Amino acid sequence: MVKVGIVGGTGYTGVELLRLLANHPEAQVEVITSRSEEGVRIADMYPNLRGRYDLEFTVPDVDTLSKCDVVFFATPHGVAMKMAPELVDKGVKVIDLGADFRIKDLDVWSQWYGMEHTAPEAAAAAVYGLPEVNREQIREATLIACPGCYPTAAQLGYLPLIENKLIDHRRLIADCKSGVSGAGRGANVGSLLCESSESMKAYAVPGHRHLPEIKQGLSAAAERPVGLTFVPHLTPMIRGIHATLYGILRDPVDHDLQKMFEERYANEPFVDVMPAGSHPETRSVKGANQCRISVHRPGNQDTVVVLSVIDNLVKGAAGQAVQNMNIMFDLPETAGLEQVGMMP
C-alpha cells in the first residue's frame, strides 16, 4: 500500500482526495494536516467520511510527513514551495494541487501570485501533471504540479487543434464557466448561496491567474506563443467546469475534426470524445475523473467550437492528483478512479 500524507486537508480539494482515496485499493492515508483544525477528527468535520477514517488533523510536520511515500499539498499557493523541497530531499514524492510549481517563468509567477518564489530549483524540476501531455515525465517525477481546473479543461479541449496547427494560435478565446466550489471553502460573501445562486456573472475579465498557465501549456503545444482571451464565469452550481473554446481555422479546407479528436485521445482512459454533434453536460462527469469533449464547426464556417467539461474537484484537482500518483507508483492508472458521474 502506498502511504499517503495530505497537507491542508480541510478545503474542498482535501476532502475530495479523502473521498477518492477511501476506496483506493492500493493507497492509504496515514497523515492529514491542518493548522486550524488540529486534533479534530476528519469525520467530525466531514460527516460523509464517518466510518471511513479514524484520523485526526495534525499540525504539518516534515518528520511525520516524511514517513509517507507521497504527500499531496491541497493548500493555498505559497505553502507547498516552503515544504516540498525538503520532503523531496527525503525521498518523498510530492504532488501539489496548488499553484506553486505550475508556471515555469517565475517572474510571471510572481506577477500573478503576488509573492517571491522561494524554491526556484524545485519549480524548475517539477513536472506539470497533465498525463495526456506528460505521462512519461510524470512516471519519473518526484514533484508534480497538478494543473488548475480551468487549464485542464481548456488544454484538453484545444490540444488536438493546436498540436495539428489547424487554428490561428494568436486568436484563441476560452469562455469558461465554473461551479462555485472552484472558489474554495473560504467564508467569503460572494460564494454565499444567496449571492451566487440564481445568477450568472463573469469575473476577473481583466486577468485571471489561470491565464498564464493555459498560455504556457498551449504555447508549448503550438511551439510558439499563443494569444488567448480567457473569460471565467461563476455558475450557480457546486461542481463542474464547462469550457467553450473558439478557434479560427487557418485553412478553409475540409478537416475531419471528429476523427482527429478521437485519435488524439484514443488511448486516454479519462478523456472521452463524444459523438459528432454532441453537447456534453457537466453533470455527466460529476464526481468522476473524466473529461468529455465534443467538437463543432457551426455552419461549416471557419470557426471551430470545442466543448470540454470536467468536474473541477476531480479531473480538475483531486482526481487528477490521484491519477498522477497512480502513474508515479506504477499502479493501474484508473485505480481508485472508477467512479461513475452522478446523473441525476
Q: Give the SS3 label for residue 290.
A: coil
Smaller CB separation from a second copy, 125 or 305: 305
Distance in Å, CB of 151 to a second copy, minimum: 17
Residue in the structure block whose three cell numbers are 445568477: 199
Smaller CB separation from a second copy, 38 or 44: 44
Instruction: Compute the distance between CA of residue 248 and CA of residue 168 in angstroms, rounded to an integer.
Output: 6
Distance in Å, CB of 119 to a second copy, minimum: 28
149 catalytic? Reply is yes
> What is the pairing mode between strands 127-128 and 228-234?
unpaired
Out of 3, 46, 163, 260, the only residue in the binding site for a second copy (CB under 8 A) is 46
Residues 241-280 that bind a second copy (CB under 8 A): 242, 244, 246, 248, 272, 274, 277-280
185 lies in the binding site for a second copy (CB under 8 A): yes
**CB-CB contact of 121 with 211 (8 Å):** no
Alpha-carbon separation of residue 154 from 13, 302, 307 (angstroms): 20, 20, 9
Out of 150, 286, 289, 293, the only residue in the binding site for a second copy (CB under 8 A) is 286
What are the phi and psi torsion angles at 85 (to 5°)? -55, -40
Smaller CB separation from a second copy, 21 or 87: 21
Nearest to 261 by CA among 298, 294, 221: 294
Out of 4, 15, 143, 145, the only residue in the binding site for a second copy (CB under 8 A) is 15
* Residue in 68, 146, 149, 176 annotated catalytic: 149
Residues 111-170 that bind a second copy (CB under 8 A): none
189 lies in the binding site for a second copy (CB under 8 A): yes
User: Segment contacting a second copy (CB under 8 A): 81-89, 118-126, 301-309, 324-332?
Assistant: 301-309
Residues 204-243 that bind a second copy (CB under 8 A): 205-207, 227, 229-231, 233, 235-240, 242
Smaller CB separation from a second copy, 39 or 299: 299
175 lies in the binding site for a second copy (CB under 8 A): yes
Nine cell digits for residue 143: 514533484
Instruction: Compute the distance between CA of residue 40 and CA of residue 179 in angstroms, rounded to an integer.
Output: 28
Alpha-carbon separation of residue 247 from 202, 226, 254, 261 (angstroms): 20, 12, 15, 15
Distance in Å, CB of 82 to a second copy, minimum: 26
Distance in Å, CB of 8 to a second copy, minimum: 16
Q: Count the site residues for a second copy by CB under 8 A.
A: 85
Residue in the structure block whose three cell numbers are 510558439: 224
What's the order of all strands across the beta sheet hosting 2-7? 27-33, 2-7, 70-73, 93-96, 143-145, 127-128
106 sits in the region (left: phi over 0; alpha: psi -120 to 50; else beta) called: alpha
Out of 54, 121, 140, 198, the only residue in the binding site for a second copy (CB under 8 A) is 198
Alpha-carbon separation of residue 124 from 58, 103, 118, 127 (angstroms): 30, 9, 12, 8
User: Segment contacting a second copy (CB under 8 A): 113-121, 138-146, 198-206, 316-324?
Assistant: 198-206
338 lies in the binding site for a second copy (CB under 8 A): yes
303 lies in the binding site for a second copy (CB under 8 A): yes
Please report how the helices 210-222 and 149-163 are oriented relative to each other, as an axis angle in degrees rounded to 10. Answer: 20
71 lies in the binding site for a second copy (CB under 8 A): no
Nine cell digits for residue 232: 471565467
What residues act catalytically? 149
